[in-house]
A = this chain, B = another copy of it.
Amino acid sequence: MAVNLHDAADLRAVPGVRIASAPAGIKQNLRDDLALFEFCPGTQIAGVYTQSHFAAAPVQLARQRQSTSRSWVVNSGNANAATGAPGLEDAHAVCRQVARLLDISEVQVQPFSTGVIGERLPVAQINGALEKAAAGLNEDGWLSAARAIMTTDTVVKGYSLQCELDGETITLTGIAKGSGMIKPDMATMLAYVACDAHVTYEAAQHLVSDAAMQSFNRITVDGDTSTNDCFMFAATGCADHQVINGREHPNYFVLLRALIELSRLLAQAIVRDGEGATKFVTICVRGGRSSDDCLSVAYTIAESPLVKTALFAGDANWGRFCMAIGRAPVPGLNPDKVQLFLDDVQVAEGGLMASDYTDARGSAVLAQDEFVITIDLGLGVSSETLWTTDLSYEYVRINAEYRS
């Protein structure tokens, strides 16, 4: 059902990163549901984490240990969220096992979980499977890790790309999972990106935050924010170039551009594999007085059930767009200045239907499985873009049947 998305295939190894996965039987099936990452000494790690008040136990630990981290351990099938003090102890127990196996200290291990909320983690099973995983660590484990972290995903999500810093080729590889409960708030479901660039800890944090704002923080499937969202970035420093020590460094934007490109591919892959998605929709709002103006309108449209069902039906329904724009909290919005385009077809100008617009032209755009909705607010010069899906019967079926 994913929109123009295929399983990841060739993922490049990143010097300094070893990975393994293993089956822990968390949901009683035999597939790999555990991934382990080990980074070489000197790696800088940064992340952005869910802003949910109910941030899961592993997220609380991962956030604390960012500056000391040398390892990630990720399980699917159980989110270890809303599990209180016992859940926190479970996360500690898993980290202790990783520390023992990799001969590092516990604060060098960041834990991550995704799956059902509110149930205890099967720690003994996980710790058993970790023995096997630790023995199998290797540089080519990205693809199997991408598979191990999936939940309702139907497609394995991962990309690699390269950029050049001081004549040195840098490799970036990233994997992600996520399909529903997707409106990341400062981060996304789960995404892991590593590269062999040489950056300081502060620069790593800037890079991951800046990239999140233009990728994972610009997607929504259903407006629901997970308790476990994390977007993690590791820079091993194995490449030989001048260290990037902050936003002012001339190579900062070279690396950021590559990181944004990779992060957008991963974020868009999550939307393409959105629960029940039949359309991949880009919403571009321009002419706002501020980024907030544009995001208010874009999210109101992207999360309106009436707009989403119209997109599913391929109904170029100007009425539902102006309903959604009309309720967006944008002070001073003036309907008489609003324009709407579906790809390059102008649907509305001056707040009402364009004189040469016909339903046939609008419907032809929406009959495609990918298109761009552009709204011009006519108030200023800001613009924002985000990516979303339609709302189909299949979304209801998946979520009426699956316990998240």
Contact = CB atoms under 8 A, between A and B. Distances in A.
Interface string A38-52: 000000000000111
A359 to B, nearest CB: 10
B54 A322 contact: yes
A351 B318 CA distance: 43
Interface in A299-347: 303-306, 309-310, 312-313, 315, 317-320, 322-328, 330, 333-336
A265 interface: no
B348 A310 contact: no
A404 B224 CA distance: 25
B401 A397 contact: no
Interface in A271-314: 303-306, 309-310, 312-313
A352 B82 contact: yes
> Lowest 7 A-B CB distances belong to which pairs?
A117-B319, A54-B326, A52-B326, A309-B399, A313-B400, A225-B327, A84-B352
B400 A323 contact: no
A318 B225 contact: no
Contacts of A325: 53-54
A309 B397 CA distance: 8
Nearest to A180: B306
Contacts of A309: 395-396, 399-400
A337 B82 CA distance: 12
Interface in A3-62: 50-55
Contacts of A304: 222-224
A205 interface: no
Nearest to A306: B224
Contacts of A215: none
Contact of A318 (B87, B117, B333): B117
A345 to B, nearest CB: 15
A186 to B, nearest CB: 11
A243 interface: no
A81 B225 contact: no
Contacts of A50: 326
Interface of A: 50-55, 79, 81-84, 86-87, 116-118, 180-181, 183, 185, 222-227, 303-306, 309-310, 312-313, 315, 317-320, 322-328, 330, 333-336, 348, 350-353, 391-393, 395-397, 399-401, 403-404
A326 B397 contact: no
A79 to B, nearest CB: 7
A403 B319 contact: yes
Given A82-B348, A319-B81, A326-B227, A306 B222 contact: yes
Contact of A117 (B185, B320, B336): B320
18 contacts: A52-B323, A52-B326, A53-B330, A54-B351, A79-B319, A81-B322, A84-B351, A86-B352, A117-B319, A117-B322, A117-B323, A181-B306, A185-B327, A222-B306, A227-B326, A305-B395, A306-B399, A312-B396
Contacts of A334: 53
B118 A319 contact: yes
Contacts of A403: 315, 317, 319
B391 A396 contact: yes
A340 to B, nearest CB: 10
Contacts of A400: 309-310, 312-313, 315
A318 B225 CA distance: 15
Nearest to A51: B327
Contacts of A225: 323, 326-327
Contacts of A303: 223
A322 to B, nearest CB: 4
